[in-house]
Amino acid sequence: MSVTAAQGFEAAGVAAGLKSTGKPDVALVVNRGPQKTGAAVFTSNRAKANPIMWSQQVVKDGVVEAVVLNSGGANCFTGSFGFQTSHLTAEKVAEKLGVSAGDVVVCSTGLIGTGDEVFRQKVLDGATAAAEELSDDGGEHAAHAIMTTDTIPKQAVRERDGWTIGGMAKGAGMLAPGLATMLVVITTDAVLTAEQADAVLRGATRVSFDRLDSDGAMSTNDQVTLLASGATGIEPNLEAFEAELAALCLDLAEQLMGDAEGASHNIRIEVRRAATEGDAVTVARSVARNNLFKTAIFGNDANWGRVLAAIGTTDAEFDPYNVDVSMNGVRVCSEGGPDRPREEVDLTPRDTHVVIDLLVGEATATIMTNDLTHAYVHENSAYSS
């Protein structure tokens, strides 16, 4: 399933010893064609890891033969040695597949600053082993090999009009937007030009991964790659394709939210009647990043005051004294004052829905986030990642 659900793809996941647990840590996804279309979006963090800098060059011509991914080390801030490692990894895969290294995307995740000679050798050996284990049902193995603190692999598949889109994702912390924010590989057997692939990928990620903001921390390494094999020979209706791709990305984003480090609530913050979509996103993101709001939800406390205090720090168009806030269907604040008693809100379910009505315009947007919990603090203070 996942990246091998569409025709024309093979994948593998192997254990190369990067993870101290001995679990799989190198994945490979190969496009067997006939088309080799590729597009990608990258973290907008200015502190970019070596594999990001390598892969940005690879996707420029719209041709991608394969994606090789490793967990167990970010190869970020590891200097020119680290960049060489990304380059050598691509060369190793290219050699095994008989393609050009310049068409091999490299992704890494793990601790920043990890990328020494031991790391390099393990990644190269892992890439070799993965190339030898490629199979057309290897998607499940690949999805496992990219996990870090994820507790479950994230996979999704959608079919329509004869073509299929499949994807895998990893991400459990440092989930915040700025284009891509985690490692994701998506494959399709539809026929797409490089320009079409780029356009639909940007359109789909804008309303899915970019709306996920688990802990406000933007990664140095994350990347979403789309590969199209054209194996069905079907040229899709592009609007339909982008809609399905967005739905698949949203599905993966929701899986990421559901498995975020230490979280006990999946929180959808929906802003309605904003002046612009940008305003709606700004307001929802400000609430999503407010630690006092996040801890209140953890404590099952419908603390709408903390919502309004967070909205007040934005430059969005709104009147602080004419805002409605509902939580799980109970309007706790109307016209900037108390409405129903907060005790009426049941925040015990994991799924939490906060609706903020700005009463200004017509635009709407939803940000997906998580609560701030003891487990989040534990997971991020007890272990380096």
Which parts of this chain interact with its own copies (CB under 8 A)? 45-48, 74, 76-79, 111-113, 173-174, 178, 215-220, 289-292, 295-296, 298-299, 301, 303-306, 308-314, 320-321, 333, 335-338, 372-374, 376-378, 380-384
**Is 164 flagged in the annotation as binding?**
no
**Min CB(336)–its own copies separation in Å:** 5
Question: Nearer Cβ to its own copies, position 98 or 315?
Answer: 315
State whether the Cα torsion 256-258-261-267 is positive or negative: positive
Question: Nearer Cβ to its own copies, position 199 or 359?
Answer: 359
- The dihedral over CA atoms of 210, 212, 214, 218, expressed in degrees to the nearest 10, equals -10
Please, which residues have CB within 8 angstroms of residue 173's CB and are 6 or more apart in sequence?
A: 149, 214, 215, 217, 260, 261, 379, 380, 385
**Is 37 flagged in the annotation as binding?**
no
**Min CB(147)–its own copies separation in Å:** 18
**Min CB(314)–its own copies separation in Å:** 8
The torsion angles phi and psi of 9, rounded to 5 degrees, stand at -125, 145
**Is 23 flagged in the annotation as binding?**
no
**Is 170 flagged in the annotation as binding?**
yes
- Other CB atoms within 10 Å distance of the CB of residue 338: 12
**Is 380 flagged in the annotation as binding?**
yes
Of 181, 220, 225, 282, the active-site residue reads 181
What gap in Å lies between CA 313 and CA 277, rounded to an integer?
Answer: 18
**Min CB(196)–its own copies separation in Å:** 31
Question: Nearer Cβ to its own copies, position 131 or 174?
Answer: 174
What gap in Å lies between CA 211 and CA 364, rounded to an integer?
Answer: 12
- 232 in catalytic set: no
Question: Nearer Cβ to its own copies, position 257 or 311?
Answer: 311
Residue ranges at the known binding site for substrate: 148, 170, 181, 261, 380, 385
User: Annotated catalytic sites, by residue?
Assistant: 181
Residue ranges at the known binding site: 148, 170, 181, 261, 380, 385
